[in-house]
Amino acid sequence: MRVSLQNVSHDYEVTETSAAVHVLDDVSLEIAAGDFAVLMGASGSGKSTLLNLIGAVDRPTAGRLLLGDIETSSLREKDLTRLRRESIGFIFQFFNLIPTLDVFENAAFPLSLAGVGRKEIETRVGVALTDVGLEHRTRHFPNELSGGEMQRVAIARAIIHRPRLILADEPTGNLDSKSGEAVLELIRNVHRTQRPTIVMATHSDRAASFGDYIVRVADGHVSR
C-alpha cells in the first residue's frame, strides 16, 4: 500500500501544563507500495508522531495523507477504525500484548475483532506462531515470555490479518542484540514473502540496515 504525505504539519495543542509543540512542518513524503522504509532521527524528532499519522491513529493538523487511494485525513472515525483493522499491522517498542490473553489469543486478536470463524483462526494462528518460532508457547501468557518472545508474538499479531502496511515503532528498542536480530530477521522475512509496505522507526544503524532506504527526521522536516 502506497503512503503519501502531502504538505503535512502536526502540532500538539496547548494544554494547561504545556505549550504548543510544533512537531512536523510541511512534510511531503512518498513511500511506494512494497517499500521497506526506515525513519531515523533523534529522540523527540517526531518519528512516533509520523507513524501515528500514517497509521491513522492521529490526524494531521494540516495537509493530506493518503494510504493507497484513500485520503485518510478526511475519513470518518468509523471508516478509519475499519481501515486500521483490515489493512495495517502495528509493532511497538514495548510489545503491547494483552496481559490477560495467552499467546494464541494475542496473535488471534485482529481476526477475532474481524469476526473470522474459529476454525480459520486456529489454522492461521498456528501458521503465524510457527513462522515466528513460538508454536510450543501457544498457551503461555505474556508474563511467562522473554522480551524477544513477546515481540515475536506481537509480530504474529501484526501479520495475522495479512495487512498491506506494517508500522513498527522501535521494535528492537527494548531488546538485547540477539533477540533484536531475530526480530529484524522476522520482519525482513515478512517483507520478502508477503511484500507489505513497512515503515519502521529506529535509533539503531543495525536495524536500519534491514530496510530499503532511510528517511531522516529532524527539525520538523524529513529527507531521503
Ligand X SMILES: Nc1ncnc2c1ncn2[C@@H]1O[C@H](COP(=O)(O)OP(=O)(O)O)[C@@H](O)[C@H]1O
Q: Considering only residues 47, 124, 157, 164, which one is a binding residue for ligand X as defined by CB under 6 A?
A: 47
Cell of 224: 531521503
Q: How many residues bind ligand X (CB under 6 A)?
A: 11
State the virtual CA torsion across 207, 58, 83, 62 in degrees, nearest 10: -100
The span of 36-44, 91-99, 151-159, 188-196 binding ligand X (CB under 6 A) equals: 36-44
Considering the rule CB under 6 A, would residue 23 count as an interface residue with ligand X?
A: yes
Q: How far is the CB of 6 from ligand X (least distance, A)?
A: 19
Q: Contact positions toward Mg ion, by CB under 5 A? A: 47-48
The span of 30-38, 45-53, 109-117, 187-195 binding ligand X (CB under 6 A) equals: 45-53
Considering the rule CB under 6 A, would residue 20 count as an interface residue with ligand X?
A: no
Cell of 188: 525482513
Considering the rule CB under 6 A, would residue 202 count as an interface residue with ligand X?
A: no
Cell of 117: 470463524
Considering the rule CB under 6 A, would residue 49 count as an interface residue with ligand X?
A: yes
Considering the rule CB under 6 A, would residue 43 count as an interface residue with ligand X?
A: yes
* Other Cβ atoms within 10 Å of 201 Cβ, number: 27
The span of 41-49, 68-76, 129-137, 149-157 binding ligand X (CB under 6 A) equals: 41-49
Out of Mg ion, ligand X, none, which partner does residue 49 contact, by CB within 5 to 8 A per kind?
A: ligand X
Q: How far is the CB of 37 from ligand X (least distance, A)?
A: 15
Relative to beta strand 88-91, strand 62-67 is unpaired
Q: Which residue, 49 or 87, is less far from ligand X as judged by CB?
A: 49
Rounded Cα distance between 169 and 159, Å, is: 15
Considering the rule CB under 6 A, would residue 12 count as an interface residue with ligand X?
A: yes
* Nearest Cα residue to 108 out of 154, 172, 163, 167: 154
Burial 123-151 (b: 16+ CB within 10 A, else e): ebbeebbebbebeebeeebbeebebbbbb
Cα Dmax for the chain: 52
Q: Which residue, 45 or 179, is less far from ligand X as judged by CB?
A: 45
Rounded Cα distance between 153 and 190, Å, is: 14
Binding residues (CB under 6 A) for ligand X: these are 12, 21, 23, 41, 43-49
